[in-house]
Amino acid sequence: MSQENSDMRVEGVVISSTGSWYEVATERGTLDCRIRGKLRLKGIRSTNPVVVGDRVVVECDQQSSSIVEIVPRRNYVIRRASNLSKESHIIAANIDRALLIVTLHGPATPREFVDRFLVTCEAYKVPVTIVLGKADTLVGELATEAEEFEAIYGDAGYEVLRLSSTTGDGVEAIRSILRGRTTLVAGNSGVGKSTLVRAIDPTLDIRTGEISESHHKGKHTTTFSTMYPIEGGYIIDTPGIKGFGLIDIESRELCRYFPEMMRLAPDCRFYNCTHTHEPGCAVSEAVKEGVVAWSRYESYLKILDEDDKYRK
């Protein structure tokens, strides 16, 4: 760094992270930064105090660049760092929309994973569009399953788009969502996240597989996201997520993050109904009648049960 840039203070956005080094895009170019020590000691329970999408303040001298401040986030997507852990892992911050890529086979995305991701997005005010991938293969029994899936999540209040990166079906609809926005793309490994991004912009060098061992060793090398410019906005490419443990969501608040249940809750006999065993529960009655999907209600019960274990 030249002398004229010494003792510089500039604001930028974090576009990639390895857990110890951060790339920050600024008006003066991209800077490789570390975190100033004091920033780590503010009682942050997250495994990654600075995340992709964060707006940060960077101080530079002739030798190095340091992140000294995080601008308050407007939202983020977060999950439990490990089973029953008290620490969290923030996937990305300051997101305009999340695209959750779901497949019904090769691999099949578990419905509970879908529901957990949607809950955390509801809790942290991140709008979600569900993308049903590999649409060209949804024939026979899979076609029926796809229609059922679309009905369940459409009734819950989510937009569901079909996508085939092979035929190009749905690519233009995704392109319009991305245009001018910061969009998080998430899903299990193998659902086609990187294939989708390449279909939209073949020039992007999207990472696949693990981060190079020559740069970042250790078992957590696949837990970091990267931001790329696309369609006048940014796309945040995330590594495949196996599980999605929720954190900092109270049991009594959980129902409000299932929109179709929240709409029914005012009709329950008791204002503090947990929708598990109480008489006169409008939610459980709707489940019996098929108005609320059993799979969604089952996810709700499992999350409640996990929360009880976590508190012990």
> Which pLDDT value is given to residue 139?
93
Question: Looking at the domain 3-70, which fold is it?
Answer: OB fold (Dihydrolipoamide Acetyltransferase, E2P) (2.40.50)
> Which pLDDT value is given to residue 82?
67
Cα–Cα distance for residue pair 47/92, rounded to 1 Å: 13
Give the CA diameter of the chain. 73
Q: What is the dihedral of CA 12, 16, 22, 26, to 10 degrees?
A: -20
Cα–Cα distance for residue pair 280/113, rounded to 1 Å: 30
Write out the two tokens for 58. 């960077």
pLDDT tens, residue by residue, 244-280: 778 778 888 999 999 999 999 999 999 999 999 999 9
Q: What is the pLDDT averaged over residues 233-238?
A: 90
- Comparing 20-29, 60-69, 81-90, 248-257, the range with the smallest average pLDDT is 81-90
> Which pLDDT value is given to residue 184?
95
Cα–Cα distance for residue pair 71/190, rounded to 1 Å: 34
The CATH number of 76-237, from 3.30.70.20, 3.40.50.1100, 3.40.50.450, 3.40.50.300, is 3.40.50.300
Locate the domains of the chain by residue range: 3-70, 76-237, 251-311
Beta strand 65-70 with 29-35 is parallel
> Which pLDDT value is given to residue 196?
84
> Which pLDDT value is given to residue 178?
94
The top-scoring range by mean pLDDT among 46-55, 107-116, 247-256 is 107-116
Bridge partner residues of 36 (DSSP): none
Could you list the beta-strand ranges (E) of the chain: 8-17, 22-26, 29-35, 55-60, 65-70, 76-80, 88-93, 97-102, 128-132, 159-162, 182-186, 226-230, 233-237
> Which pLDDT value is given to residue 311?
47
Look at 221 and 244; give whichever has higher pLDDT.
244
Bridge partner residues of 14 (DSSP): 24
Per residue, the 3-state secondary structure of 2-26, as one string, reads CHHHCCEEEEEEEEEECCCCEEEEE
Tell me the pLDDT of the chain averaged across its residues: 85
CATH superfamily membership of 251-311:
Probable gtpase engc; domain 3 (1.10.40.50)
Beta strand 182-186 with 226-230 is unpaired
